[in-house]
Amino acid sequence: MSGTPPPSGGFVRRIGLFQAVAINMSQMCGIGPFVTIPLMVAAFGGPQAVLGFIAGAVLALADGLIWAELGASLPGSGGSYVYLRQAFQYRTGRLMPFLFVWTAMLFIPLIMSTGVVGFVQYLGYLAPDMGRTTGDLVGLGVIALVVLLLWRGIEHIARITAVMWTVMIASVTLVIVASATHFSADRAFTYPSGAFELTSDHFWLGFAAGLTIGIYDYLGYNTTAYMGAEIKNPGRTLPRSIVFSILGIMAIYLLLQIGTLGVIDWQRMTDPGDIASTSVASAVLEKTWGKGAADVVTVLILITAFASVFTGLLGGSRVPYDAARDRVFFRPYAKLHPRHRFPTLGLATMGVITAIGFLIGRHTDLATLIQLLTTVMVLVQALAQIAAATVLRHRQPSLPRPYRMWLYPLPSLVALVGWLVIYGYADKNAPGRHPIEWSLAWVALGCVAFLAWARFEKVWPFGAREVREEYLERGVGDEVSA
């Protein structure tokens, strides 16, 4: 399948390595670190919050290697949908891919909604008198604009994304450079008493919360995997786009976090009345280069936030397409725009859910929203996909694998431990919100929906179990090391 055209009437392979890395990095960086640095500091209770970004990077890299192997071997549209369909079809038919699409249609646009919440948050620095209602209307307008821009051909989207990636790099670079010009090592590396008390429950509770925030900031390294049918030479491009984007963002985040802590006292970031708790990057620029420079960089951050939502919905809207085309999700989602060849209903649905999530985030707590979204994602995507990589090696040993996971199965084990820590501490880090219970309820509801759908479609468990190993019949290119 590598380098070959898709079936007639399907997606077109037009996205190369640079554009693929740009799509991933734009989605990964976005507004995330600019709004979560104060949340990370609050979770850890001091500048030792850097540990959260380091732990998030380790988990992202371990999980990214799983995505790299699966994406190179099974480069179809839909990402995890394709991987779970191939791995679990032997025993549970279409249950696992159905559940993935069921949850992805919720958690992907809701994650995008946190980006819009951050956009409005930073806009408040430029317009401090903006009321809540005005902010709500602005956020909804941003979502509408994103959907309109995505209502175009992929060749236009690739060029727009490259420009947005450049702006993203410029914004984070300016914040990092500004921090370096006024950096105080004492401020950045003076820790409160008991900061590294590993026998304390408080430390591990903060670590779990920080790991959750950290992996949220890295989410997006898998965006191009959702677009496997649109990637040139996916056997080579997909693994490289994932690994390169994680390593690049890892370096950026560490410089950004340490630099920010070297300019702004961490206590300011935990004060709800201080601008550093909502617009920490703007506070850094104001303190170092003045209000004018802070305004300019804030505008760049707004563009970066817009880019993250743009690329997230770009990749996410492809998820239900392959499922519906294969009769594993509602059939109307299989339709592409007659001219521009993008999934119209998937994009429209996720746009609506993003708007709803934005309003929820605006009127609740952003940290809790991140906790809820991550918990929902863990069960059907993260944990199931770790199992899928192992199952496919056993079930389809002859499957062409242009990239094989380094040090297998160590990355799978590291990813498993990381995701279980996030899930196990979820209720404690969101007291009163019960994210574990909500995630289990959502999956249970998905199982009920699957049974109703399967009965209507007359498939397993109400019909014959179909096993399709189409990727064994298609070469994906020569073996390479990413």
For position 481, what pLDDT does the model report? 37
The residue that leads in pLDDT, 482 or 281, is: 281
For position 157, what pLDDT does the model report? 63
For position 256, what pLDDT does the model report? 92
Query: Buried b vs exposed e over 97-131: b needs ≥16 C-beta within 10 Å?
Result: bbbbbbbbbbbbbbbbbbbbbbbbbbbbbeeeeee
Q: Is 235's pLDDT higher than 60?
A: yes
The pTM for the full model equals: 0.85
Class of domain 17-437: mainly alpha
Q: Compute the radius of gyration of the chain from its Cα atoms.
A: 22
Tell me the per-residue pLDDT of 146-202, one tens digit each, with 9 for 90 and over. Answer: 988 888 755 556 666 677 778 878 888 999 999 999 999 999 999 998 888 888 888
Q: Report yes or no: 334 and 78 within 8 Å, Cβ to Cβ.
A: no
Q: How confident is the model at residue 70 (pLDDT cuts 50, 70, 90)?
A: very high
Q: Report yes or no: 252 and 168 within 8 Å, Cβ to Cβ.
A: no
Nearest to 22 by CA among 119, 218, 160: 160
Average pLDDT taken over every residue of the chain: 86
Q: Report yes or no: 59 and 221 within 8 Å, Cβ to Cβ.
A: no
For position 437, what pLDDT does the model report? 92
Tell me the per-residue pLDDT of 413-467, one tens digit each, with 9 for 90 and over. Answer: 999 999 999 999 998 888 888 889 989 999 999 999 999 889 888 889 998 888 8
Average pLDDT estimate for 297-304: 89
C-alpha 469/C-alpha 291 separation (Å) is 60
For position 166, what pLDDT does the model report? 82
Tokens of 333: 């989602």
C-alpha 303/C-alpha 157 separation (Å) is 15
Tell me the per-residue pLDDT of 28-67, one tens digit each, with 9 for 90 and over. Answer: 877 888 889 999 999 998 999 999 989 999 999 999 999 9
Average pLDDT estimate for 249-269: 92
C-alpha 362/C-alpha 454 separation (Å) is 37
For position 207, what pLDDT does the model report? 93
- Helix or strand holding residue 7 (H, E): none
Q: Which burial class, exposed, middle or buried, applies to 327 when counting CB atoms under 10 A from its CB (0-12, 13-18, 19+)?
A: middle
Give strand pairing partners of 336.
Answer: 343
Give me the helices (H) in 190-233, please.
201-218
Average pLDDT estimate for 264-271: 92
Average pLDDT estimate for 381-391: 94
**Half-sphere CA count of 407, side-chain side, radius 13 A:** 10
Q: Is 470's pLDDT higher than 90?
A: no
The residue that leads in pLDDT, 304 or 340, is: 304
Q: What are phi and psi of 343, to 5 degrees?
A: -75, 110
Q: Is 245's pLDDT higher than 80?
A: yes
C-alpha 42/C-alpha 106 separation (Å) is 27
Give me the helices (H) in 317-396, please.
319-325, 344-362, 366-377, 384-395
Q: What is the crossing angle of helices 132-150 and 291-316, to 10°?
A: 50
Calculate what percentage of the chain has a pLDDT beyond 90: 40
Calculate what percentage of the chain has a pLDDT beyond 70: 93
Average pLDDT estimate for 385-413: 92
Domain boundaries, given as residue ranges, for the chain? 17-437
3-state secondary structure of 352: helix
Tell me the per-residue pLDDT of 89-114, one tens digit each, with 9 for 90 and over. Answer: 998 989 998 999 899 888 888 888 99
